[in-house]
Amino acid sequence: MRILITNDDGINAEGIRVLVDFASTIGEVTVCAPKEQQSAKAHAINIYTPFEVKKVEYKGAVDAYAVDSTPADCVRFGTLGLLRDYDLVFSGVNKGLNMGEDIAYSGTAGAIFEASYRHIKGIAFSTEINSFDSARIWVKKAYEYIVANNMLEHADLLNVNIPDNPKGIVVTKQGGAYYTDRFVEIEKDIWQQTGYCIHDNRHDLTIDSDATIDGYVTITPLTHAKTDYKAYEAITQKS
């Protein structure tokens, strides 16, 4: 199995090391990851300016490249640039959970959305911001759960969140707002966004944010499709 691995925290981040260590036990790994921090870049790509792609040594990978662009561009270079096919794209392990509406902003998730455009199945992994200890154990357990339940036969994209000391694994739906921001003027005409949690935990284990906060590894099937099929059917039935 050929696996392309990226992240949004940068090629030197601890989380991608965790993911490569696991992935190298199940397949042939190529790493294409951002040269620098690229969090919250979503599915952005760079189309106007050239950017550096430097081949580097990376233990556990057959090839590795530091890409001075976004996670989505890393996947694009790994496929369109290297002209290679892969069986899976792994993204992460992100330092910080990606749940609910925050998925839309996540560079970790953006990478697997790009994978789906390349017709490759993708799994994004994220964990608590303070430690990768649980991720080192539960990335493997989550992947084994995915395989045992044939989840990739039904879904092209999976989003995995790993809390500290998980109780188990549940399959969930995407929840709603988890964080929002205040805009703070830190000096004249210079503003900064500062995030704060607005999550209302109703302990619904079918929702990614509730279940993760309640101590479960959550696996959420995602899609990149933007068509509102309910609206489409309602409109076209009237025409």
pLDDT per residue, tens digit, the chain (239 aa), is 999 999 999 999 999 999 999 999 999 999 999 999 999 899 999 999 999 999 999 999 999 999 999 999 999 999 999 999 999 999 999 999 999 999 999 999 999 999 999 999 999 999 999 999 999 999 999 999 999 999 999 999 999 999 999 999 999 999 988 878 899 988 999 999 888 888 888 999 999 999 999 999 999 999 988 888 888 898 888 65
Which pLDDT score, from 0 to 100, does residue 123 have?
A: 98
Degrees to nearest 5, angle at CA 195 with 192 and 199: 160
The span from the CA of 178 to the CA of 114, in Å, is 24
Distance of CA 127 to the CA centre of its chain: 11
Query: Looking at the whole model, is its pTM more than 0.85?
Result: yes
In this structure, are strands 28-34 and 157-162 parallel, antiparallel, or unpaired?
unpaired
Q: List Cα–Cα distances, 131 to 16, 135, 164, 165, in angstroms.
A: 13, 8, 8, 11
Q: Residue 14 carries which side chain, given as an amino acid letter?
A: E
Structure tokens at 56: 């580097």
Domains of the chain: 2-174+203-238 (3.40.1210.10)
